[in-house]
A = this chain, B = another copy of it.
Amino acid sequence: MNQIKVGCRLVYQVHTPTTFLFNISAARNEHQQIVEESFYVEPYYRIEEGAVSPLGNRMVRLSVPPGDLTVSYTATVNLRVEEAQATDVSETPFEQLPADVLPYLNPSRYCESDKLLQFASEKFGSLVPDYSRVTAICNWVYDELSYTSGSTGPTTTACDVLELKKGVCRDFAHVGISLCRALGIPARYVAGYAVNLEPPDFHGFFEAYLDGRWFLFDATRLAPVGGFVRIGTGRDAADVAFSTIRGSADSPEMQVWANEERSNDRLLDPNNVETAVSSAP
The verdict on A103 contacting chain B, using a C-beta distance below 8 Å, is yes
CB–CB B54/A155 < 8 A: no
Interface residues of A in 90-108 (CB under 8 A from B): 94-95, 98-100, 102-103, 106-108
State which of B35, B100, B235 has its C-beta within 8 Å of the C-beta of A53: B100
23 contacts between A and B (CB under 8 A): A19-B94, A19-B95, A30-B49, A33-B48, A35-B38, A35-B40, A36-B36, A36-B37, A36-B38, A50-B98, A52-B100, A53-B53, A53-B100, A54-B54, A95-B246, A106-B238, A106-B239, A108-B108, A108-B109, A109-B109, A109-B111, A114-B154, A114-B238
CB–CB B114/A80 < 8 A: no
CB–CB B246/A184 < 8 A: yes
Chain B positions within 8 Å of A47 at CB level: 33
CB–CB A30/B52 < 8 A: no
Find the B residue at minimum CB distance from A75: B37
CB–CB A52/B102 < 8 A: yes
The verdict on A168 contacting chain B, using a C-beta distance below 8 Å, is no
Kindly supply a per-residue 1/0 record for chain A positions 105-127, scoring 1 wherever the CB is within 8 Å of any chain B CB and 0 otherwise.
Answer: 01111011011000000000000
CA distance A184 to B21 in the complex (A): 14
The verdict on A223 contacting chain B, using a C-beta distance below 8 Å, is no
CB–CB A107/B238 < 8 A: yes
Chain B positions within 8 Å of A53 at CB level: 53-54, 99-100
Kindly supply a per-residue 1/0 record for chain A positions 51-62, scoring 1 wherever the CB is within 8 Å of any chain B CB and 0 otherwise.
Answer: 111100001010
The verdict on A63 contacting chain B, using a C-beta distance below 8 Å, is yes
Chain B positions within 8 Å of A246 at CB level: 94-95, 184
- Give the top 8 A-B pairs by smallest Cβ distance, nearest first: A50-B99, A36-B38, A107-B109, A106-B238, A19-B95, A94-B246, A63-B95, A114-B155
CA distance A114 to B40 in the complex (A): 31
Kindly supply a per-residue 1/0 record for chain A positions 26-41, scoring 1 wherever the CB is within 8 Å of any chain B CB and 0 otherwise.
Answer: 0011100111111110
User: How many copies of this protein are present in the complex?
Assistant: 4
CA distance A154 to B49 in the complex (A): 36
The verdict on A278 contacting chain B, using a C-beta distance below 8 Å, is no
The verdict on A78 contacting chain B, using a C-beta distance below 8 Å, is yes
CA distance A239 to B111 in the complex (A): 14
CA distance A154 to B108 in the complex (A): 13
CB–CB A21/B102 < 8 A: yes
CB–CB B39/A108 < 8 A: no
The verdict on A1 contacting chain B, using a C-beta distance below 8 Å, is yes
Chain B positions within 8 Å of A238 at CB level: 106-108, 114
CA distance A21 to B124 in the complex (A): 25
- Among A35, A95, A184, the one with the most B-chain Cβ atoms within 10 Å of its Cβ is A95
